[in-house]
Structure 1
Amino acid sequence: MRLVIIDGNSLLFRAYFAMRPMMTKEGVYTHGVYAFINMLNKILGDYTPDYIAVCFDMKAKTFRHKQYEEYKAGRQQTPIELLSQIPLMHDVLDAMNISVFEKETYEADDLIGTITSEASRRGIESIIITGDKDELQLIDKNTKVVINKKGMTEFDIYDEAAMIDRYSLTPKQFIDLKGLMGDKSDNIPGVPGIGEKKGIALLKEYGSVEGVLENADKIKGKLGENVRANKEMATLSKSLATIRRDVPLDYEFDDLKFVKPNYDELLNIYRSLEFNSLIKKLDSSEHEAVTEIKKSGANIFDEYSKYNHVDPSKFYDRVSSGSDVVITFKGDNNHSSMPMLDSVSLLSAEEKIITKIELSPLNVSSAIETLISRRYEYICYDIKPFIYTLLKYNINGLRIKHDAFVAEYLLDPNRSRYSLDKMLVKYTDFTFDESTDDSVHLLYILKVYEGQKKGIDENGLTTVYEECELPLIETMAAMESIGMKVDRAVLESVGIELDARIIDLENSIYEKAGQSFNIKSPKQLGVVLFEDMGIPYPGRGKKKTGYSTSVDVLEKLRDEQPIVNDILEYRKATKLKSTYIEGLIALIADDGKIHPHFNQTVAATGRISCTEPNLQNIPIRDEYGRYIRKAFVTSDENHTFIGADYSQIELRILAALSGDESLINAFNNNEDIHRITASRVFNVPLDQVTPLDRSRAKAVNFGVIYGMSGFGLSEELMISRAEAQRYIDDYFLKHTSVKAYLDEQIKIGERDYAVKTIMGRIRQIPEFASRKYMDRQFANRLAMNTPIQGSAADIIKLAMNSVYLELKDRNLKSKLVLQIHDELIIEAVNDELEIVKELLRRNMENAFELKVKLVCDMHTGSTWYDLK
C-alpha cells in the first residue's frame, strides 16, 4: 500500500514560476493551478497511490513564530496573483476527491510529518512530494521524499540509502544539520560560519547538535568560538527546523483513499478555468468517466438525434435562400496541381436537417454552383481551403457569415493552434468525439459559433471581424489561387552561382582554419574557432554542449576575424540554396506557378504570414536574395507587375495615435521625417544633416516604436550605451506627446493585461503579471508596439480587401497576387495598367482615415525584382 502526500504550497509556488502567466478571458490567473495539475497527473501516473493527500500552509503565524519572532522574516511577499490561485487549487483537489489538510499555527511540513508517521506505523509506504529539503528528516524505512528539482518534470528521490550517499547523515541528523547551518529561506539563524560541509563534519564527529555543544570546548579556532557563543541559537535553530509529527488532526486514514474524481464537477471547473487541453486529456484517458458525463450531463448526441438526414435536393427545397447554414468539406487543398473535393456537408439549425453532397471531378462544378446559387450565409471552420478550391474551379460567390477558426484567433491571438475540440469545451458543455460521424462536427461548429458570437460582441471586435478578417478569407484564397509564375531557369542559374560561391567559401574557411571539418556542425566549428585557432570566445564560457556559434556570437567577431565573415556568408549561401532555390523549385505547380499559403491566424499582432514558400523572408539586402526575385515573372509580355507599399506607415500611425503635431505636420507636408528627427534630436540645422545623422535618426524613430532600450540602440548603431540612451532621451524631450502615448499604453497594459489597435483588435499581454523583470520589460515593449504594428496590419488588410473587391466588381482581368508586409502586388493586364494604378493607390491611401495622410510608393516591372 502506498500514500502519496504533496507539499501543496511548495509545488504550487514552483508551478507558478515555471510557466508564463495564463489568465481566463475574465482575467483570472490560472498558470500556477494549470502547471500544478500537470505535475499532479505525472505524479499519479508515476507512483500509482492507494492513498493521497495535499497539505497547505495557512496565512496565520505558526508556533515557530512564538519561539522566534524573526522566523521567515525577510521573505519576499507572495504575489497576489499566486495567492489568488490557492482557493482555485482547493476547488480542483476537492473535485478530484483528494483530501486537503491545513491547520492554523502549523505548517504543511508538520501535517505531512504527522500523516506519514501514522502511515509508517500502519506499514504503509509514503512518498512525500515537495520542493523543500526540510522533509528529508521524515525519511524512514517506509517513507521516501521526492524533491522537485527543476521546472515541472525533474525530480530526485531520497530514501535512507540516498541520504547517506548524499549527506553521509541519517534523516534525523538532517535536523541537526539545519540546526547548525541554519536556513536562509526560513530565516533560521544557525551558527555563524557553519555551512553544509562543516556541519556534516561536526555531526560525523559528535553525532548531533547536543553532542556538538557538549564538546564545544574541543572545537578549535574561530569555528569553536562561534559554536560556544551561539549555543542557545543552535538549540533554537534545531527546534525551529524540527518537523512536528504529533499535530492533532481530525481525520480517518481511510479518508485518504485514492478514488475517482467527481468528473462532472471537475469538468465544470476546467471549463471555467479554460483548461481545454486538460479536458482533452480527461476525455482520452478516462473513457468511462466521459461516458458517465455524457449520460448524466450535456450530451451532444441527444441534440444530434433530433436532426434528420436528407438528400441534397430536399435540403434545398426546405432551406430557403439566404438562410444560415453550417458547412464542412473534405478536400486535399492541393497547391501543386488541381485540388480535389470529396464531399460537402450542410446543416440547417432552423429546419433540423443535415445533408451530404458526394463529389467527383465529374460533378464538382454543377453541384457547387447549385449550392452557391442558394445564397446561404455559411457558418464554418477554416473555410479558406474550400474557397481556394472553388476558385480553382472558377466558382465564386460563397457567402461567409462566420468562421470559427478566424474568430477564435481574433478572440485569443496568443494561441499557437485553434482546434475545434478546444473551442467546443471552451464555449459549451459538450465534449468532442473524433470517432463520430463527420456530420456531428457540423453541430460542433454551430455550438462554438453561438459562444464566439457573444465573445466578439462583448469584446468590441465586431468591426475588425466583419471589415478586416471575414472578407480577408476570400482575398487570401484568391491570391493563392492566382499564384505567381516562376522562371525555373532563373532559379537554376542562381543555384549554380550559389554552388560555386559555397565551394569558394568552403575552401577559404578550410585554408584559414588550416584543416577540413564539418562547417555545419556547431560543435566542430566551436572547437576549430575557439580552441584550435585560439580565437577569444566572446561568450561567458564553454557550456556542456560546447561553444555557441550562433549568429549573435559570430557577429561580434566578424570584423576582426576573416574566417568568421566567411562562415556567416557560407551559412547565408547554403540557406539560400536549400530554402530558396531547391525549396522554390519543389513548389512550382503544374501550371508553372507557385501558389503560396497565406495565413491570418499566426501572428498575434494581426499581420499576415506566408508559408510554402515563405515569400516574406526572401532576403532583400542580399545580392542572391534579390536575384531570386527575378525568377517571379508575369504570365506573359501582356502583363506587368504593379507594386505599391505604404511609406513609413508605422511612424505615421504613431504620429496619429500620439497626436504629436510636429510629426503630423511633417508627414502631411511630405517632409523627410528622418532628416527632421536628426535635426531635432542632434540639434543640427536641417540643411546640415548628414547621411549618417539621418541613418541614426531612422534607427531612433523605429527604435521608439519597438520600445528599444539604450542598450538595444547602442548595439544597432555600434555606439556607446550612454550615447544611445541620450538619443532616446532627447527624442522624447522633443516629442513629449509620443512619450505620453507610449507611457499610457503601458498603463493600459498593466491595468487590462491587453492593448488594442485602432480597429479594436485585442492582444492579451499576460506577461504584465510576471514577477520576472525580463517578462515585464517584454510586456512593456508589446504594449507600446502592438497598437502600432497591429493598426498597420488592420490597415493593409482593409486595403487588400478593397483592392480585391474592386478588381472583382469591375470585372478587371488584373489580379492581386501578393502581400508582403506593407506592400501589395498586382499582376495587371497592360491595357488596364493606368486604371489599376489609380485603383491601387486610391484604395491604399484611403483605407483608413487618420490625422496623418497615408502615402504609398508605386513601382512597375516585368519581374518581382523590378519593383524595388
Structure 2
Amino acid sequence: MRLRLGLGLGLGLGLRLRTKTKTEVETEEEVLLPFRKIGDVEHHYSAVITQSDLEKLIHKLSKAEEISFDTETTNIDANLAELVGMSFCIKAGEAFYVPCPANQQETRKILEQFESLFIDESKIWIGQNIKYDLLVLKWYGIELKGKLFDTMLAHYAIEPEGKRNMDLLSEKYLRYEPIHIDELIGKKARQTKSTGESQGNMRDVELEKITDYAAEDADITFQLKETFTSLLKKEKVEKVFNVIDNPLVKVLTDMEFEGIRIDEGFLKNYSVELEKEAAISEKKVFELAGVHFNLASPKQLGEVLFDKLKLDTNAKKTKTGQYQTGEEVLLKLAAKGHSIAEEIINFRELTKLKSTYVDSLPLLINPKTGRVHTKYGQAVAVTGRLASNNPNLQNIPVRTDRGKEIRKAFIPRDKNHVLLSADYSQIELRIVAAISGDKNMCEAFKAGMDIHAATAAKVFGVDINEVTKEMRYKSKSVNFGIIYGQGAFGLADNLGISRTEAKEIIDSYKKEFPGIQNYMNNTINFAREHGFVETLMGRKRWLKDINSANFTVRGFAERNAINSPIQGTAADMIKLSMQKVHAAIKKEKMKSKMILQVHDELVFDAARDEVHELKPLILEYMEKALPLPSDVPVIADCGQGENWLEAH
C-alpha cells in the first residue's frame, strides 16, 4: 500500500531533508535513493462512473473524518475555470476520481449529491493550495463548511523560503515522483512556441490517464498532511499554521470571489492624458539633448548622457559594456542639477503608469463579473506578508500624485455602496517600540505623540514644539531606515547630507533610544546561535547566511534578521484582523464585503446603510487583533469615498 511505501519512508527522509535546508548537507543515502513512480508502488485508483458507484463513494466519504480533495479544471484561473473532475482520498494508496461533464447543468447535479459532505462542519478537508479548489466550488454555489488543512501552507510555515509545488514536495518528503501534467496536456504555451503547439485541455485527456493523475494528487496530498503535521510540531510553528495562515484561506477565497469594480471610462481618459504628457516630456528630453534618439533604448540613452553631454566622466558600465542608466543613476544626476535626467525620470514614470497599470487594468476584467479579481499568494513572501497578482495591488504607485490617481479607478459596486479604507498607523514603528521595549519610544506612542517629531526632539535636543520640518524629515528617515539596517552612508545618500552629519544623527538616535540598538544586537546574536528569527506569533525566518565569512552576504542576513520579526509581526497582525472582521461581517449578515488587502490596509465594498456600524467594527478588530508588548497601543484609521483614492 502507498501508506507503507510512501508515508513510512517519507517521514524519515522528510526530516533529513529539512536539516539539509539549514545546513546545506546532503547525505549519501539521499543522493542514491531513487524516486519511485506510480508503477513502483501498490495503489488503487478508480474512476467513479455509475450512479451506484457515486453513492457508494459518498457513503464511504461520509464515514471519514479527513478527506483529501483536489479538482481538475479547464483553467488555472479559478474565476474562469469549469470543473473537469474531482478526486478524493481517505486512505494512503487508495483514491477516487469523479469526472464532471462539459454540460454544466449535469456537473451541478453531481455536485448536489456531495452537498451533505461539503456542508458537514466536522470534516477536515486536505488540499494543496486548497484556496483554488474552494474558489472553483464557490462559482458553483458551494462552500465547504468544514476545517481545512493546506499542505502548501503547512510547508510554508515549516520552511518559508523556496518553492513548494506538489511535485517538489512529493519528491522531497515522500521520495515519489508524480505524473507530470506535460504527460497529459503537453507543455505550457511558452515552452512550445518553437513548435507552434499549444497546451491541451484537461477535458480531452482520456479517462484512464486523468484518473491516475488526479487520484495520485489526492493521495500524495493525504500523505503529505501526516508528514507535515509532525514537522509543524517539531519546528514549533503549529500556531502560525493553525491560527494565522490556514484559517485565512476561506477569507481570501471570499475576497478573490468578490473582486472589485473598475471605472473603465476613467482609465481610458487617464491613458489619453498620460500619452499627451509623455509626448511633451519626450520632446523636452530631445531639446535638452540636442538630438533625437530612442528613449526606450538604454544603450542610446547612455551614449547621449555620457558620451555626447558628458554628464559624468566616471559613469559606470554594465557587463556588456553599455552605460548604466537605471533610476539610481538618473536620480544622482538630477540631484546634481542636470534637468535632462529629471525629465527622463518624468518620462519613464508617465510611460510606465500608462502601460503597466492604466492600459493593463481593463484587460484583467473578468467577462463573467465585469470586475477585477486579484489573486493572493499566501506562500510567497518569506516574512509572512501576502502577495498579489493580476493585478499586483502592492505595486500600484502611491508615492507620486500621478501614481495615486490610479486608485481612482477602483470604485464601489453601485450607487448604494461606498469604499472604506482602513489602515494601521505607523504599525512597524509601534512593533519596533514594543519588541525592543525602548522606554522613550514606548512613552511617545503611549502619549499619542507624533513619533517622528518626538524622535527629532530627542535626537536634536530640542523641545518638541521647536522641531522644524527639516528635523522631522531627517528623524523620519532614521526611524524607517533603522528597521532596514541603514547606516550613515545610506542615510547621507537618502537625505543629501554629509556622511559626518548622518553619523552624528545616528549616534544621537542610538543614545536616545538605546533599547532599539539593544534589540538589533540581541536579535543578530540570537540568529547567529539558532539560525532563525521569529515574530511575536512564532513565525520563523531561517537565515542560512547569518554566520557567513563574506561580509556583504552576512550583512544582508543581519538586516533581514532585524527586519523580519517586525515586518512579519505586522503581517501576522493584519491576517488575524482579517479573520475577525470577516467572521463578524458574516455573523451580522451584512451586505458589505472585505475586498482588498494591501500591506497594512484593508478595503471594503460597504453598503451605505451599514457604514455607521461597519467602521467601528473594523477598527475594533484591527486594533485588538494582536496586542503588543510594553502596552504599546495599536491605532487604525478608516476613511470612506466614492473611489479608493478618496477613501484612503
**TM superposition score normalised by structure 2:** 0.86
Residue 506 (structure 1) aligned with residue 282 (structure 2): yes
> Could you say which residue in structure 1 is the equivalent of 2:343?
566
Aligned residue among 251, 256, 261 for 1:480: 256
The residue matched to 2:525 in structure 1 has which SS? helix
Query: How do 1:642-681 and structure 2 match up within 5 A?
Result: 642-681=420-459
1:726 aligns to what? 504
1:388 shift after superposition: 1.8
CA, structure 1 residues 424+662, in 2 after alignment: closer, same or farther (shift >3 Å)?
A: same
Matching residue's letter, 1:775: V
Partner SS for 1:558: helix
- Structure 2: 5+ residue runs without aligned partners? 1-15, 184-211
Partner of 2:639: 859
- Give distance in 2, aligned partners of 1:538 and 1:364: 68
> What is the 5 A alignment of 1:167-566?
266-268=31-33, 299=40, 301-302=41-42, 304-305=43-44, 311-320=53-62, 323-332=65-74, 338-349=80-91, 352=94, 354-359=96-101, 360-374=103-117, 375=120, 376-415=123-162, 417-434=163-180, 436-537=212-313, 539-540=315-316, 544-559=320-335, 560-566=337-343
Aligned residues: 591
User: Are the structure 2 counterparts of residues 346 and 533 from structure 1 closer, same or farther at C-alpha, using a change threshold of 3 Å?
Assistant: same
Structure 2 partner of 1:708: 486
CA contact (8 A) 1:402 1:470 kept: yes
Kindly state the Cα deviation for residue 320 of structure 1 after the two structures are TM-superposed: 2.7
1:650 and 1:687 map into 2 onto residues whose CA distance is 25
Deviations 1:415-442, CA, capped at 9 Å, x for gaps: 1x21212211222243333355321222
Relative to structure 1, the CA distance from residue 308 to residue 634 in structure 2 (aligned partners, 3 Å threshold; closer, same or farther) is closer
Amino acid at match of 1:349: K
Deviations 1:580-600 (A, max 9, x none): 111111112223211111111
Cα pair 2:534 2:541 within 8 Å, conserved: yes
CA deviations over 1:836-865 (Å, ceiling 9, x no partner): 112101110110122212110110101001
Residue 333 of structure 1: how far off its partner (Å): 5.2
Q: CA deviation at 1:558?
A: 1.0
**Greater mean deviation of Cα atoms: 381-390 or 503-512:** 381-390
Contact 1:335 1:589 in 2 (8 A): no
TM superposition shift of 1:344: 1.0
CA distance in 2, matches of 1:770, 1:351: 44
Shift of 1:668: 2.1
Give the distance between the partners of 2:22 and 2:452, measured in 1 at CA.
Answer: 43
Contact 2:47 2:99 in 1 (8 A): no
Question: What's 2:360 paired with?
Answer: 583
Distance 1:517 1:844 in 2: 52
Q: Is the 8 A contact 1:643 1:823 kept in 2?
A: yes
1:633 CA displacement: 0.9
| Residues 178-228 of structure 1: per-residue CA shift (max 9 Å, x gap) | xxxxxxxxxxxxxxxxxxxxxxxxxxxxxxxxxxxxxxxxxxxxxxxxxxx
Is 2:46–2:97's contact at 8 Å kept on the other side of the alignment?
no
CA contact (8 A) 2:179 2:213 kept: no
Change (3 A) 1:767 1:542: closer
Letter paired with 1:690 = T
Code of the aligned partner of 1:362: Q
Which digits, 9 at most, give the CA deviation of each residue in 1:765-792, with x for residues without a partner? Answer: 1111322111100011001000000000
Tell me the distance in 1 between the aligned counterparts of 2:647 and 2:74: 34
Over 3 Å counting, the alpha-carbon distance change for 1:592 and 1:28 in structure 2 is closer
Deviates most, 813-822 or 660-669:
660-669
CA gap of 1:28–1:437, structure 2 versus 1, over 3 A, is closer
CA 27–684 in structure 1, closer or farther in 2 if over 3 Å, else same = farther
Alignment of 1:782 with 2:560, yes or no, is yes
Query: CA–CA distance in 2 between the matches of 1:371 and 1:522?
Result: 59
Structure 1 residues 265, 355: closer, same or farther in 2, change over 3 A?
A: closer
1:794 alignment counterpart: 572
Partner of 2:415: 637
Question: Equivalents in 2 of 1:494, 1:573: separation in Å?
Answer: 11
Q: How does 1:743-822 map to 2 (within 5 A)?
A: 743-822=521-600
Give, as a single letter, the amino acid of the residue that structure 1 aligns with 2:111: I
Per-residue CA deviations over 1:522-558 (Å, capped at 9, x if unaligned) read 0111111111122224534575431110111111101
CA contact (8 A) 2:44 2:93 kept: no
The 2-side partners of 1:696 and 1:372 are apart by 60
SS across alignment from 1:463? helix
Amino acid at match of 1:529: L
Tell me, yes or no, if the aligned pair for 2:157 and 2:539 is still in contact at 8 Å.
Answer: yes
The AA in structure 1 aligned to 2:252 is: M
TM-aligned CA deviation for residue 505 of structure 1 = 1.1
State how 1:95-106 maps to structure 2 within 5 Å: none
SS at match of 2:365: coil
Whether contact under 8 Å (1:471, 1:801) holds in the other structure is yes
CA shift in 2, pair 1:24/1:743, >3 Å: farther
1:26 is paired with a residue whose SS is helix
Deviation at 1:825, TM superposition (A): 0.8
Aligned partners of 1:28, 1:845: CA distance in 2, in Å?
37
Instruction: Give the secondary-structure state (helix, strand or coil) at the position aligned to 1:642.
Output: strand
Q: Between Structure 1 and Structure 2, whose CA radius of gyration is higher?
A: 1
Change (3 A) 1:346 1:305: closer
| 5+ long unaligned stretches in structure 1 | 1-22, 32-84, 93-263, 269-278, 284-289
User: C-alpha displacement at 1:721, in angstroms?
Assistant: 1.6
8 Å CA contact 1:312, 1:357 repeated in 2? no
1:700 & 1:410 partners in 2: Cα distance?
A: 32
Report the Cα distance in structure 1 between the residues aligned to 2:75 and 2:483, rounded to whole angstroms: 38
Whole-Å separation in 1 of the counterparts to 2:76 and 2:93? 34
Write the deviation string for residues 346-386 of structure 1: whole angstroms up to 9, x where unpaired.
Answer: 11218955242425421444433543431231111111122
- Counterpart-to-counterpart distance in 1, 2:243 and 2:23: 33
3-state SS of paired residue (1:628): helix
8 Å CA contact retained: 1:598, 1:608: yes
Return the structure number with greater relative CO, CA threshold 8 A, min gap 6: 2
> CA separation in 1, counterparts of 2:453 and 2:89?
60
Report if the CA contact (8 A) 1:24-1:30 is conserved: no
| Matched residue SS, 1:547 | coil
Q: CA deviation at 1:794?
A: 0.4
Shift of 1:306: 8.5
| Cα 1:726–1:753 shift into 2, 3 Å | same
Instruction: Using the TM superposition, name which of 369-378 and 485-494 deviates more.
Output: 369-378
